[in-house]
Amino acid sequence: MAAAIYSLYIINKSGGLIYYKDYGSAGRMDTNDSLRVASLWHSMHAISQQLSPVSGCSGIELLQADTFDLHCYQSLTGTKFFVVCEPGTLHMESLLKYIYELYTDYVLKNPFYEMEMPIRCELFDINLTQAVQKDRVAFLGR
Protein backbone atom coordinates (compact mmCIF):
# COMPACT_ATOMS: atom_id res chain seq x y z
CA MET A 1 0.00 0.00 0.00
CA ALA A 2 1.22 3.51 -0.67
CA ALA A 3 2.98 5.08 2.27
CA ALA A 4 1.72 8.07 4.21
CA ILE A 5 1.88 11.71 3.24
CA TYR A 6 2.79 13.87 6.19
CA SER A 7 2.19 17.38 4.93
CA LEU A 8 1.73 19.60 1.91
CA TYR A 9 3.00 23.12 1.28
CA ILE A 10 2.28 25.56 -1.52
CA ILE A 11 4.60 28.55 -1.97
CA ASN A 12 3.95 31.52 -4.22
CA LYS A 13 6.57 32.84 -6.62
CA SER A 14 8.05 35.25 -4.05
CA GLY A 15 8.58 32.50 -1.52
CA GLY A 16 5.66 33.18 0.79
CA LEU A 17 3.58 30.30 2.09
CA ILE A 18 0.04 30.32 0.71
CA TYR A 19 -1.13 26.88 1.80
CA TYR A 20 -0.03 24.45 4.48
CA LYS A 21 -1.82 21.25 5.42
CA ASP A 22 -0.61 18.65 7.87
CA TYR A 23 -1.95 15.12 7.53
CA GLY A 24 -1.03 13.65 10.87
CA SER A 25 2.67 13.91 11.58
CA ALA A 26 4.15 14.16 15.03
CA GLY A 27 6.12 17.17 13.91
CA ARG A 28 3.21 19.50 13.27
CA MET A 29 4.42 23.08 13.12
CA ASP A 30 2.74 26.28 14.17
CA THR A 31 2.08 29.05 11.67
CA ASN A 32 5.28 30.99 12.21
CA ASP A 33 7.49 27.96 11.86
CA SER A 34 5.73 26.82 8.71
CA LEU A 35 6.21 30.29 7.20
CA ARG A 36 9.91 30.22 8.03
CA VAL A 37 10.39 26.74 6.69
CA ALA A 38 8.62 27.62 3.46
CA SER A 39 10.72 30.71 2.77
CA LEU A 40 13.86 28.77 3.68
CA TRP A 41 12.90 26.14 1.15
CA HIS A 42 12.32 28.80 -1.48
CA SER A 43 15.86 30.13 -0.97
CA MET A 44 17.42 26.67 -0.95
CA HIS A 45 15.64 25.85 -4.17
CA ALA A 46 17.15 28.95 -5.77
CA ILE A 47 20.67 28.28 -4.48
CA SER A 48 20.59 24.71 -5.72
CA GLN A 49 20.02 26.08 -9.22
CA GLN A 50 23.19 28.16 -8.87
CA LEU A 51 25.29 25.18 -7.85
CA SER A 52 24.46 23.12 -10.88
CA PRO A 53 27.51 21.86 -12.80
CA VAL A 54 25.47 21.89 -16.01
CA SER A 55 23.27 24.68 -17.31
CA GLY A 56 19.50 24.39 -17.32
CA CYS A 57 18.85 23.41 -13.74
CA SER A 58 15.35 23.98 -12.42
CA GLY A 59 15.93 23.36 -8.72
CA ILE A 60 15.53 20.54 -6.24
CA GLU A 61 12.92 17.94 -7.18
CA LEU A 62 13.54 15.40 -4.47
CA LEU A 63 15.22 15.66 -1.08
CA GLN A 64 15.87 12.41 0.75
CA ALA A 65 16.41 12.49 4.49
CA ASP A 66 16.59 9.80 7.14
CA THR A 67 12.95 9.86 8.17
CA PHE A 68 11.17 11.51 5.25
CA ASP A 69 11.31 12.38 1.56
CA LEU A 70 10.42 15.77 0.19
CA HIS A 71 9.10 16.00 -3.37
CA CYS A 72 8.87 19.42 -4.98
CA TYR A 73 7.17 20.51 -8.15
CA GLN A 74 7.63 23.98 -9.57
CA SER A 75 5.13 25.25 -12.07
CA LEU A 76 6.11 27.43 -15.03
CA THR A 77 4.93 30.50 -13.14
CA GLY A 78 7.19 29.82 -10.17
CA THR A 79 4.61 28.45 -7.75
CA LYS A 80 6.08 25.56 -5.80
CA PHE A 81 4.19 22.58 -4.47
CA PHE A 82 6.02 20.32 -2.10
CA VAL A 83 4.96 17.35 -0.09
CA VAL A 84 6.66 15.66 2.86
CA CYS A 85 6.13 11.92 2.83
CA GLU A 86 7.56 8.65 4.12
CA PRO A 87 10.83 7.53 2.54
CA GLY A 88 10.27 5.54 -0.62
CA THR A 89 6.76 6.73 -1.32
CA LEU A 90 5.89 6.25 -4.96
CA HIS A 91 3.91 8.40 -7.41
CA MET A 92 4.51 11.68 -5.63
CA GLU A 93 5.35 13.49 -8.87
CA SER A 94 2.01 12.60 -10.41
CA LEU A 95 0.24 13.54 -7.17
CA LEU A 96 1.91 16.95 -7.24
CA LYS A 97 0.90 17.48 -10.86
CA TYR A 98 -2.66 16.53 -9.93
CA ILE A 99 -2.60 18.99 -7.04
CA TYR A 100 -1.44 21.63 -9.49
CA GLU A 101 -4.47 20.86 -11.62
CA LEU A 102 -6.72 21.21 -8.59
CA TYR A 103 -5.00 24.51 -7.81
CA THR A 104 -5.67 25.87 -11.29
CA ASP A 105 -9.28 24.69 -11.24
CA TYR A 106 -10.37 25.63 -7.73
CA VAL A 107 -8.08 28.48 -6.78
CA LEU A 108 -6.98 30.37 -9.87
CA LYS A 109 -10.36 30.22 -11.52
CA ASN A 110 -12.00 31.44 -8.34
CA PRO A 111 -12.91 35.11 -9.02
CA PHE A 112 -12.60 36.00 -5.33
CA TYR A 113 -9.12 34.68 -4.95
CA GLU A 114 -6.33 37.26 -4.92
CA MET A 115 -3.08 36.19 -6.48
CA GLU A 116 -0.21 35.31 -4.14
CA MET A 117 -2.51 35.44 -1.12
CA PRO A 118 -3.19 32.52 1.25
CA ILE A 119 -5.64 30.02 -0.21
CA ARG A 120 -9.07 29.97 1.43
CA CYS A 121 -11.10 27.96 -1.05
CA GLU A 122 -13.32 25.27 0.37
CA LEU A 123 -13.66 23.23 -2.80
CA PHE A 124 -9.89 23.11 -3.10
CA ASP A 125 -9.63 21.72 0.44
CA ILE A 126 -12.26 19.06 -0.17
CA ASN A 127 -10.77 17.83 -3.40
CA LEU A 128 -7.28 17.92 -2.00
CA THR A 129 -8.24 15.76 0.98
CA GLN A 130 -9.74 13.24 -1.40
CA ALA A 131 -6.64 13.24 -3.58
CA VAL A 132 -4.26 12.68 -0.71
CA GLN A 133 -6.01 9.64 0.68
CA LYS A 134 -3.91 6.55 0.26
CA ASP A 135 -5.98 4.62 -2.22
CA ARG A 136 -6.36 7.61 -4.48
CA VAL A 137 -2.58 8.07 -4.57
CA ALA A 138 -2.14 4.50 -5.72
CA PHE A 139 -4.84 5.11 -8.33
CA LEU A 140 -2.96 8.10 -9.65
CA GLY A 141 0.19 6.12 -10.07
CA ARG A 142 -1.45 3.52 -12.24
SS3 111: coil
Rounded to an integer, what distance in angstroms lies between the CA atom of residue 126 and that of residue 106? 10
Q: What is the CA radius of gyration of the chain?
A: 15
Min dist. Cβ of residue 29 to another protein (A)? 8
Q: Is residue 47 part of the contact set for another protein (CB under 8 A)?
A: yes
Q: Is residue 51 part of the contact set for another protein (CB under 8 A)?
A: yes
Min dist. Cβ of residue 90 to another protein (A)? 15
Q: Is residue 68 part of the contact set for another protein (CB under 8 A)?
A: yes
Q: Is residue 66 part of the contact set for another protein (CB under 8 A)?
A: yes
Per-residue x/- track, 17-46, another protein (CB under 8 A): --------xxx-x---x--xx--xx-xx--
Torsion of the alpha carbons at 105, 58, 17 and 103, rounded to the nearest 10: 10
Per-residue x/- track, 83-122, another protein (CB under 8 A): -x--------------------------------------
Q: Which of 122, 92, 129 is nearest to 107 (CA)?
A: 122
Q: Which of 131, 88, 124 is nearest to 107 (CA)?
A: 124
Q: Is residue 52 part of the contact set for another protein (CB under 8 A)?
A: yes
1, 12, 18, 82 from 109: Cα distances, Å: 34, 16, 16, 21
Q: Is residue 60 part of the contact set for another protein (CB under 8 A)?
A: yes
**How far is C-alpha 83 from the chain's CA centre?**
4
User: Where along the sequence are the contacts to another protein (CB under 8 A)?
Assistant: 6-7, 25-27, 29, 33, 36-37, 40-41, 43-44, 47-68, 70, 84
